[in-house]
Amino acid sequence: MTVDLTHDEILRYSRHLLIPEVGLDGQRKLKASSALVIGTGGLGSPVALYLAAAGVGRLGLVDFDVVDSTNLQRQVIHGTSTVGKLKVESAKARLNDLNPTIQVDTYNEPFTSENAMQIAADYDILIDGTDNFPTRYLSNDVCVFLGKPNVYGSIYRFDGQVSVFAAKDGPCYRCLFPEPPPPGLVPSCAEGGVLGVLPGTVGTIQATEALKVLLGIGSPLIGKLLLYNALDMSFDFVNLRKNPHCRVCGPNADIKELIDYNAFCGVPGRNHEEGSAGEGWDIEAQALAERLREPTPPLLLDVREPHELQISWLPNAINIPLGSLAARLSELDSAREMVVFCKGGTRSARALQLLVSAGFKKVKNLKGGINAWAQEVDPEMPVY
Amino acid sequence: MATLRIPTPLRVYTGGQTEIPVGGATVSDALQDLVARHPAIKPHLFKDSGELRPFVNLFKGDENINVLQGLQTPLTENDSLRIIPSIAGG
């Protein structure tokens, strides 16, 4: 497809047009191209900002979260004025301001096996800026199945990794990491922390690689993994090769369609009915009542806000509101069985995801929350 | 001795050390030497059965040992080994 640049665009992109490797033809290519950015957090922020500024004609943003003030230390696409707003809307507003000539499509939903192929089919390239293993495996497999390059970036504290996976004849993410680590072995940024500028460096490199792939210039990181360490200021490269045993892109691949990535990574999923944490992760109120009569009952963790405890409470429950749970995990004994609850089971399901990601194995969600307890076990207790 | 570079997530098990000299003629020997010095790292690299965990990637120089001779890949004095961790932050 050939597209023309307007006079305004020629002026806007003049510093690109002066580079022989880009020029008018390259800038037209960018305008005709599209990129899907998975996640608008630490990595997605610089990726989306630079791709928009560079004039990639259509950007898709996938995120289901809302901006909170702890994001702003690194998620520079958002701002104080957008705290509490949907991340995709906050990001879109910033991108529209930066470059009103491009189109920004938003997907305010988690990227899942149900929607991923359909969303991704419409884009030339995917950029993986997610913050969890299930979505990373999902993004990879989508790219392999659709034959689209996956610009991978990942961070931890001071370390970053970048590669271009699933390019034609190149290795994929699973060639390097056939299996995820067990939940809890690798802390997330929410638990382990991250230097705020780190995703800036790594995401900017991802944006660079995406532009190179879209323009067809230079040597993208296909078959190479960049290992960046901010403390040492080291950039090391290792070779990656296609893994002949790869289950999605190898000659004997046995994974031919998207799978349940949460189950694959051993973590509870996000897609489940209201008040439930998903199959195998719930305990009913009646069952909990029986467990609490045993000699070694499970620990109760109440993730509601303190003022809700005035309405209803369970004896001996520890109260850590969901918002401060990540920072207070050390107060909990991961060896002990634990039941998490809130008002209706939704916040506690999120708490359970966090706990399992942090390595807690013996943890269940009180299905339907303390309101279910009030209805099924203790009629004296108010429902709210 | 070859040197083994420890990634950030595993440094808590090596007393914060980033590069550890390891003895031995093969990658397998070097890992045994590492585990002998820093036993706390063992469960993060090996299954209970003694096999290397599948998400642990070891590179000698810039090549994955899987495309060399695996754990039997020979090591010489100045070789550098590194563990490439699976990280997911974003």
Mean pLDDT, range A248-275, rounded to an integer = 86
- Least-confidence region, from A271-275, A319-323, A353-357, B80-84: A271-275
Of A151 and B48, the structure prediction assigns the larger pLDDT to: A151
Q: What is the per-residue pLDDT for A159? A: 93
Interface test with B, best of A47, A131, A156 (most B CBs within 10 A): A156
Q: What is the per-residue pLDDT for A358? A: 74
Question: What are the catalytic residues of A?
Answer: 189, 342
Mean pLDDT, range A111-128, rounded to an integer = 96
A105 and A230 fall within a common domain: yes
* In a domain? residue B89: no
Question: Is A186–B63 a contact, with Cβ atoms under 8 angstroms apart?
Answer: no
Mean pLDDT, range A318-341, rounded to an integer = 89
Question: Is B90–A157 a contact, with Cβ atoms under 8 angstroms apart?
Answer: no
Of the candidates A146, A90, A94, A96, which has an alpha carbon nearest to the alpha carbon of residue A116?
A: A146
Q: Which residues are within 8 A (CB) of A64 and not within 5 positions of it... i.e. 6 or more apart?
A: A108, A109, A110, A270
A55 and A127 fall within a common domain: yes
β A318-319/A299-302 pair status? parallel
A55 and A89 fall within a common domain: yes
B72/A contact by beta carbon, under 8 A = no
* In a domain? residue B66: yes
Q: What is the DSSP string of A279-341?
A: TTSEE-HHHHHHHHTSSSPPEEEE-S-GGGGGT---TT-EE--HHHHGGGGGGS-TTS-EEEE
Look over chain A and give the mean of its residue pLDDT values, rounded to a whole number. 93
Q: What is the CATH number of the domain that holds A238?
A: 3.40.50.720
Which member of A130, A159, A176 has the closest CB to residue B90? A130
Which residues in chain B touch residue A181, judged by CB atoms under 8 angstroms apart?
53, 55, 86
Mean pLDDT, range A330-356, rounded to an integer = 89
Q: What is the per-residue pLDDT for A279? A: 76
Which residues in chain B touch residue A155, judged by CB atoms under 8 angstroms apart?
87, 89-90
With cut-offs at 50, 70 and 90, classify the pLDDT of residue B9.
confident
* In a domain? residue B72: yes
A165 and A248 fall within a common domain: yes
Closest CA in chain B for residue A200:
B90
Which member of A131, A158, A237 has the closest CB to residue B88? A131
Of B54 and A249, the structure prediction assigns the larger pLDDT to: A249
Q: What is the per-residue pLDDT for A306? A: 92
Which residues in chain B touch residue A41, judged by CB atoms under 8 angstroms apart?
90
Total number of domains constituting chain B = 1
* Residue after which a domain boundary falls, among A209, A234, A264: A264
Q: What is the per-residue pLDDT for A191? A: 64
Question: Tens digits of per-residue pLDDT, A22-57?
Answer: 999 999 999 999 999 999 999 999 999 999 999 999
Question: Is A44–B90 a contact, with Cβ atoms under 8 angstroms apart?
Answer: yes
Q: Which domain holds residue B72?
A: 2-84
What number of C-beta contacts closer than 8 Å exist between A and B?
A: 93
Q: What is the DSSP string of A258-284?
A: ---HHHHTT---S-S-TT---TTSEE-
* In a domain? residue A269: no
Mean pLDDT, range A139-144, rounded to an integer = 98
* In a domain? residue B52: yes
A212 and A298 fall within a common domain: no
* In a domain? residue A173: yes
* In a domain? residue B90: no
Residues belonging to chain B: 90
B55/A contact by beta carbon, under 8 A = yes
* In a domain? residue A26: no
* Residue after which a domain boundary falls, among A215, A238, A264: A264
Look over chain B and give the mean of its residue pLDDT values, rounded to a whole number. 92
Mean pLDDT, range A316-340, rounded to an integer = 90
H/E segment holding residue A366: strand A363-366
Of the candidates A311, A370, A310, A376, which has an alpha carbon nearest to the alpha carbon of residue A340?
A: A370
* In a domain? residue A92: yes
Interface test with B, best of A43, A150, A159 (most B CBs within 10 A): A159
CB A316 within 8 A of CB A326: no
Percent of chain B residues past pLDDT 70, beyond the cut: 100
Interface test with A, best of B47, B55, B66, B80 (most A CBs within 10 A): B55
With cut-offs at 50, 70 and 90, classify the pLDDT of residue A184.
low
Q: What is the CATH number of the domain that holds B69?
A: 3.10.20.30
Q: What is the CATH number of the domain that holds A290?
A: 3.40.250.10
* Residue after which a domain boundary falls, among A238, A264, A290: A264
Which residues in chain A touch residue B17, judged by CB atoms under 8 angstroms apart?
none
Interface test with B, best of A127, A131, A176 (most B CBs within 10 A): A176
Question: Tens digits of per-residue pLDDT, A219-251?
Answer: 999 999 999 999 989 999 999 999 999 999 999
Q: What is the per-residue pLDDT for A275? A: 83
* In a domain? residue A351: yes
With cut-offs at 50, 70 and 90, classify the pLDDT of residue A329.
confident
Of the candidates B20, B35, B22, B41, which has an alpha carbon nearest to the alpha carbon of residue B85?
A: B41
Q: Which residues are within 8 A (CB) of A255 and not within 5 positions of it... i.e. 6 or more apart?
A: A141, A247, A248
Query: Would the pLDDT of A271 be above 60?
Result: no
Query: Would the pLDDT of A190 be above 70?
Result: no
Question: Tens digits of per-residue pLDDT, A277-296?
Answer: 887 899 999 999 999 999 99
B51/A contact by beta carbon, under 8 A = no
A195 and A295 fall within a common domain: no
With cut-offs at 50, 70 and 90, classify the pLDDT of residue A356.
confident
With cut-offs at 50, 70 and 90, classify the pLDDT of residue B65.
very high
Please state the φ and ψ torsions of residue A355, each to the nearest 5 degrees: -65, -45
Of the candidates A209, A221, A222, which has an alpha carbon nearest to the alpha carbon of residue A56?
A: A209
> How many other CB atoms are there within 10 angstroms of residue A231's CB atom?
11
Which residues in chain B touch residue A267, judged by CB atoms under 8 angstroms apart?
none
ipTM: 0.93
Q: How far is B77 from chain A (nearest CA, A)?
A: 20
Q: Which domain holds residue A221?
A: 33-264
Mean pLDDT, range A282-311, rounded to an integer = 94
Closest CA in chain B for residue A38:
B90
CB A220 within 8 A of CB A209: yes
Question: Is B62–A238 a contact, with Cβ atoms under 8 angstroms apart?
Answer: yes
With cut-offs at 50, 70 and 90, classify the pLDDT of residue A1.
low
The listed range with the strongest mean pLDDT (A136-150, A324-338, B52-66) is A136-150
Query: Would the pLDDT of A327 be above 90?
Result: no
- Give the burial class of A373: count Cβ atoms within 10 A of its Cβ; 0-12 exposed, 13-18 middle, 19 or more buried: buried
* In a domain? residue A79: yes
Q: What is the per-residue pLDDT for A384? A: 95
Question: Tens digits of per-residue pLDDT, A142-161?
Answer: 999 999 999 999 999 999 99
Total number of domains constituting chain A = 2
Q: What is the per-residue pLDDT for A161? A: 97
Query: Would the pLDDT of A305 be above 60?
Result: yes
Percent of chain A residues past pLDDT 70, beyond the cut: 97
* In a domain? residue A2: no
With cut-offs at 50, 70 and 90, classify the pLDDT of residue A198.
very high
A68 and A139 fall within a common domain: yes
Q: What is the per-residue pLDDT for A73? A: 95
Question: Is B86–A43 a contact, with Cβ atoms under 8 angstroms apart?
Answer: no
Which residues in chain B touch residue A241, judged by CB atoms under 8 angstroms apart?
64, 67
- Least-confidence region, from A80-94, A120-134, A321-335: A321-335
Question: Is A176–B87 a contact, with Cβ atoms under 8 angstroms apart?
Answer: no
Which residues in chain A touch residue B64, judged by CB atoms under 8 angstroms apart?
176, 238-241
Q: How far is B25 from chain A (nearest CA, A)?
A: 22
* In a domain? residue A16: no
